[in-house]
Structure 1
Amino acid sequence: MSDDQQIPFKIQTVQFDARFPNTNQSKNCGQNYSDYYKCTEARGEDFPLCQQFYRNFRSLCPDDWIERWDAAREEGRSPFVPPTTANH
């Protein structure tokens, strides 16, 4: 690809969600992450609503949160419950 060619890119923000009217979007981030995986289990990754959840959480959530949540899911744990330690 030459330097003068540009890849089309569309910047789009998450639409308003009445469940999360405040500026802090942390809960919205987590809810969209959770909804995406529930949706893909029920409908598959190509289902349009699942893709919307994906775009939303990728837009709202910090990358390190997503990485931690993905790691927890791979370990078979709930992403939103901290791991327990043996020495309490």
Structure 2
Amino acid sequence: MLDVDCQVPSKGRWPTPPFDPRFPNQNQTRNCYQNFLDYHRCVKNMNRRGKSTQPCEYYFRVYHSLCPMSWVQRWTEQIKNGTFAGKI
């Protein structure tokens, strides 16, 4: 997993997502989907432990930078309806 502490930008500034060696190709669809899953898994685990979800913000910012909003809205709606295909 990526080191979240070194990825935190200065306050109020968020550059493009950093290079992820798991997704070296130009097509970033899988990167988008994986960061969406990682965010929701992170939030679920942190809530279960009773800890702050602040470390999950990295994944949130990355998938919001990479994913089309229509995908995010559809996936979020599917999660609410219990029909999302990914394992969270």
Q: Normalising by structure 1, report the TM-score.
A: 0.73
Partner residue, 2:65: 59
Partner residue, 1:26: 29
**CA, structure 1 residues 41+27, in 2 after alignment: closer, same or farther (shift >3 Å)?**
same
Deviation, 1:47, is 2.9
**CA, structure 1 residues 52+73, in 2 after alignment: closer, same or farther (shift >3 Å)?**
same
Q: How do residues 1-88 of structure 1 correspond to structure 2 at under 5 angstroms?
A: 9-44=12-47, 46-48=53-55, 50-80=56-86
- Is the 1:70–1:79 Cα contact (8 Å) retained in structure 2? no
* Rg (Cα) greater in structure: 1
Q: Following the alignment from structure 1 to structure 2, what is the Cα–Cα distance between the partners of residues 62 and 71?
A: 15
Which 5+ residue runs of structure 1 have no aligned equivalent? 1-7, 81-88
Deviation, 1:51, is 0.6
Give the % identical residues.
Answer: 38
Moved over 3 A (4+): none
Which 5+ residue runs of structure 2 have no aligned equivalent? 1-10
**CA, structure 1 residues 55+79, in 2 after alignment: closer, same or farther (shift >3 Å)?**
farther
Aligned partner letter, 2:77: A
Deviation, 1:9, is 4.9
